[in-house]
Amino acid sequence: MMFFLQVGLNLTGYLAPEVGQLVFLQKLVINENSIRGTLPPEISDMGDLKTLYLSDNQFSGSFPSSIGKLTELTRLDISNNLFRGSLPSSIWNLTQLTKLDISKNTFIGTIPSSMGNLEKLTSLNIKAVQLTGTLPSLIGNLKSLTYLNIHSFWISSPGILPSSIGNLKNLTHLRISFGLIGSLPSSIGKLKKLTHLDMTSNDFTGTFPSSIGNLSKLSYLDISYNQFTGSIPSSLGSLNNLTHLYIAFNHFTGSISFSIGNLTKLNDLYMSDNKFTGSLPLSIGNLSDLQYLVISNNDFTGSDLLKILSNLNGSLLSFYFEDNAFSTNLTEDICSSSFQFDLDACF
């Protein structure tokens, strides 16, 4: 009696309907091959199946709704195939699932509120899928999630991120890119286990919530390419585990808080294409691990820039500062200095 079948070696061809005769199989792994054609609905006859990995093949056609019969399924990965059409609603009834990856297919339709049925999910990847509709508030039921990636997920109006996202307190990785509008809910500050937060390329408006300062484990933060306004909250300076900070291409205004100098682990700091004013705080010179500093296309002024750059000369690899309000003399002084890093505005 066979419980586990793994098929590799760059196989081609089709998956035969007879696969459904393996009724005692618990794990079927046929990822990273070149298997094409439709997935036979007979696969649902494998009632003991717990793991089904079909990723990185050339499966096409619609995904069979009979998948809902596999009630023992805990892990389902069909990513990077050619599946198309509507995602069967029965997939949201597989309440034993802990991992679901449907990314890189051409599914259409909506994500229903029945998504909230999958309360045992720890990993959900819906990347590069052309679904529409709002993100259901019942996503807040998925309290076991540690990884959530909804990237290139086309959400139609109103497309607001529900405040129930704050219920997902086990999340360590959250990426939701493309389509969201409205404000970023302050409940994001409840996700205290987050290490990676990526909200790039949405249309978020309003101010960035000060509750971000609660996320003390955060090492990666990307909110670039949105429509945020107002000042950067000083609470950002509490995130002393940050290594990457991207806030470029928004409408932020005001000056940069001195507290940014607390982010001593930063490698990348991208602040370009906003409406920042005033002087860069001298505390940026404390960021001894900083490699990339990008402040171009703002309205920064002040004469402390040379001192900041001198302090960073041992670590910095690139500095972009063009299209600000720095004096001509300051720009010339910077470009004539013997800094070891690239100075884009001097080329």
Q: What is the pLDDT of residues 103-161, one digit of tens each?
A: 999 888 778 899 999 999 999 998 877 777 678 899 999 999 999 998 765 555 557 89
Is 92 within the bounds of a domain?
A: yes
| Number of domains the chain is built from | 1
Instruction: Determine the 3-state secondary structure of 334 from DSSP.
Output: helix
Is 53 within the bounds of a domain?
A: yes
Sign for the pseudo-dihedral over CA of 306, 310, 313, 316: negative
Instruction: Determine the 3-state secondary structure of 322 from DSSP.
Output: coil
Sign for the pseudo-dihedral over CA of 129, 131, 134, 139: negative
Say what the pLDDT of residue 2 is: 47
Phi, psi of 198 (to 5 degrees): -125, 110
pLDDT lower than 70: segments of the chain: 1-9, 133, 152-158, 178, 345, 347
Tokens for 3, please give them: 């419980």
> Residues with Cβ < 8 Å from 323, sequence gap 6 or more?
296, 297, 298
Say what the pLDDT of residue 158 is: 53
Say what the pLDDT of residue 44 is: 94
Is 72 within the bounds of a domain?
A: yes
Task: State pLDDT tens for residues 266-279.
Answer: 999 999 999 999 99
Cα 167–Cα 172–Cα 174 angle in degrees, nearest 5: 75
Is 120 within the bounds of a domain?
A: no
Say what the pLDDT of residue 153 is: 55
Burial status of residue 111 (CB atoms within 10 A of its CB: 0-12, 13-18, 19 or more)? buried
Is 214 within the bounds of a domain?
A: no
Of the candidates 254, 266, 257, the one whose C-alpha atom is nearest the C-alpha of residue 235 is: 257
CATH number for position 87: 3.80.10.10
Using CA atoms, how far residue 276 sits from 198, 250, 300, in Å, is 22, 10, 6
Distance CA 306, CA 207 (A): 31
Q: Contact 127/150 with Cβ under 8 angstroms?
A: yes
Q: Contact 319/290 with Cβ under 8 angstroms?
A: no
Say what the pLDDT of residue 320 is: 92
Using CA atoms, how far residue 305 sits from 160, 180, 283, 326, 333, in Å, is 40, 36, 11, 9, 10
Is 81 within the bounds of a domain?
A: yes
Strands 82-86, 99-101: pairing is unpaired
Distance CA 293, CA 287 (A): 10
Other CB atoms within 10 Å distance of the CB of residue 338: 5
What range does the domain containing 98 cover?
A: 1-108
Is 35 within the bounds of a domain?
A: yes
Half-sphere exposure of 339 (CA within 13 A, CB side): 25
Distance CA 285, CA 72 (A): 56
Phi, psi of 240 (to 5 degrees): -80, 10
Say what the pLDDT of residue 330 is: 82
Q: Contact 246/268 with Cβ under 8 angstroms?
A: yes
Bond before 158 cis per omega within 30 degrees: yes
Instruction: Write the DSSP string, 178-199.
Output: SS-EEPPPGGGGG-TT-SEEE-
